Structure 1
Amino acid sequence: MSPIHLAIVGVGKIARDQHLPSIAKNPDFKLVAAASRHGTVDGIDNFKSIDEMLEKVPAIQAVSLCMPPQNRYEAAHKALSAGKHVFMEKPPGATLSEVADLEALADAKGLSLFASWHSRYAPAVEAAKAFLDSTIIRSMKVVWKEDVRHWHPNQEWIWQAGGLGVFDPGINALSIVTHILPRPVFITKATLEFPENRDAPIAAGITFTDAHGLDLTAEFDWRQTGKQSWDIVAATDDGEMVLSEGGAKLSIDGVLKHEEPEQEYPMLYKRFAEIVQAGKSDVDLAPLRHVADAFMLGRRKFVDAFYD
């Protein structure tokens, strides 16, 4: 089959670090254009807006959206309305309702919509899922703590309403948890810590359960310096499972069972090509729904102001 003519919207850090290298290595795609207010990509046509790009490059078949979630709905709607398949960087939108509307539009037009969750494609995630499917889970604890100054330097959008704050990385953990657990979970309580000068939280503590009373807690924090923590620990009838380093390694009772090189974004583009070729969508909103529930149920606690 001929490669899918792809355009990218939003040429920022995530696009340069992950999307562009993954697209370049995937023969199913040919990058033909980019739209960004500030960034450009060498060797292709570049535009300041998605409107101009869609008008001047009719050969585009699919669009990958890498801008902040607050602005993603408008761009996705324009791309779908123009008959283009759409890949959405996580989180897929600022609200559940807008993503549901995009899913309905894609379905009505016979187009593929992909809500991508890159952490689900971490090397040891499927092995963890298989292990949990084979045993009884007694409890689970998620610890996702990192240094926002390192990962999001001077990115003001993450602190604005709709930017999710600490849930920007926290939703990665939720995307893994909702994939590897055999049953759905729901939030029972949450505490969200907001810097007094910001509109999004810097930390969160959340308690979940399921229909069988699972004990599940999550700790998200953006103030951790030094070694970063991206761990999911489960007590089971067959030992303690530790899914560490963001899903890269799986250990059972301290014995390493699975480790491979990270290939998250290449796997995302492999999946996007599959759904485009199959004429279907992949839109799982469970991780975003948990974030929305945390904001709905969460008790707000104001903490010291945060400055980059």
Structure 2
Amino acid sequence: MQKIRLGIVGVGKIVRDQHLPSIAGNGDFELVATASRHGTVDGIPAYQTIEAMLEAHPELDAVSLCMPPQFRYLAAHAALEAGKHVFLEKPPGATISEVEDLKRMAAAKGVSLFASWHSRYAAAVEQAKQFLKASPVRSMKVTWKEDVRHWHPGQAWIWEPGGQGVFDPGINALSILTHITPAPLHLTSAELEFPENRAAPIAATLAFGSANGLEVAAEFDWRQTGKQSWDIEADTEAGHMRLADGGAKLFIDGTLTFEAPDREYPALYARFAEIIKAGVSDADIAPLIQVADAFMLGRRKIVDAFHD
């Protein structure tokens, strides 16, 4: 079968660290071209804009969009208009309405749209989902705390409207949470901490509920130094579950029951190829809805200025 001819838009750190190795290791894809204002890939034709790339390479079958979310909608629209399958880095857009429009457009064009929630593909996530499915859940707690200076040094876009601030990593937790919980969750309250010199929050305290009485508390913080915390815990009738290290490890009553090497981005590209071949889309926006609800319901608290 002919390989899926792929173009990448936005050649930055995440592309070099994750996308390029994953594409190279997947026999379904062939990287044909890139579009980026600053980055290039050795040996691959490079263009400044997606429009120039699409014009020069009409043979492209699919496009991966890896620029900041504030700029993703118009690029996705151009790719879909040209009849290309589209891979959206997380979050899939700056707003819900953008992504809903892209979903409608993909359906009309008969191409696949993929909202790539990479943390859902962490090694132990499916095991955690099955554990929670088998035992009534009493309560859950999410702790997602990391050092923004380490993970996003000098990235101004992430502090601007649409950049989501601490929800950029926090949405990873929400992508797992909305996937593994047995019942749909809705936000009941939120407090968002905004540095006095930034337009996006640096921390958030969230509470969720469900129709069956499940309560979930979440703490997101971008000021943590030292060991980073990416944990989801659940008290159940079968014991205490902790999904640790961003979904890489599963503990039951303190005992490690499952872990495996990181394969998140290779799994994303395997899934992208799968939906292209099947002629379907996979564009769940539940995590993005939870973030939008947090901005809608959240009380704003102004805290000390943040400087890189």
Q: Provide the TM-score with structure 1 as the length reference.
A: 1.00
Q: Is this contact kept in 1: 2:183–2:212, CA < 8 A?
A: no
* Residue equivalent to 2:110: 110
CA distance in 2 between partners of 1:211 and 1:188 (Å)? 12
Alignment length, in residue pairs? 308
* Residue equivalent to 2:6: 6
Aligned residue runs from structure 1 range 253-268, under 5 A: 253-268=253-268
CA distance in 2 between partners of 1:212 and 1:266 (Å)? 36
CA distance in 1 between partners of 2:232 and 2:277 (Å)? 34
Aligned residue runs from structure 1 range 212-227, under 5 A: 212-227=212-227
Q: Provide the TM-score with structure 2 as the length reference.
A: 1.00
Is 1:42 equivalent to 2:72 in the alignment?
Answer: no
* Residue equivalent to 2:91: 91
TM superposition shift of 1:21: 0.7
TM superposition shift of 1:108: 0.2
Aligned residue runs from structure 1 range 292-303, under 5 A: 292-303=292-303
Secondary structure of the 1:305 match is coil
TM superposition shift of 1:58: 1.0
TM superposition shift of 1:305: 0.3
* Residue equivalent to 1:67: 67
Runs of 4+ in structure 1 deviating by more than 2 angstroms, as ranges, are none
1:116-152 Cα offsets, whole Å, 9 max, x none, are 1000000000000000000010000000000000000
CA distance in 2 between partners of 1:18 and 1:91 (Å)? 16
1:186-210 Cα offsets, whole Å, 9 max, x none, are 0000000000000000000000000
CA distance in 1 between partners of 2:54 and 2:283 (Å)? 24
* Residue equivalent to 1:209: 209
CA distance in 2 between partners of 1:216 and 1:89 (Å)? 26
Is 1:120 equivalent to 2:120 in the alignment?
Answer: yes
The letter for the 2-side match of 1:45 is P
CA distance in 2 between partners of 1:74 and 1:275 (Å)? 23
* Residue equivalent to 1:148: 148
* Residue equivalent to 1:198: 198
TM superposition shift of 1:213: 1.5
CA distance in 2 between partners of 1:99 and 1:194 (Å)? 26
The alignment-based identity, stated in percent, is 70
The letter for the 2-side match of 1:66 is C
The letter for the 2-side match of 1:296 is M
CA distance in 2 between partners of 1:168 and 1:304 (Å)? 20
CA distance in 1 between partners of 2:185 and 2:129 (Å)? 15
CA distance in 2 between partners of 1:257 and 1:134 (Å)? 16
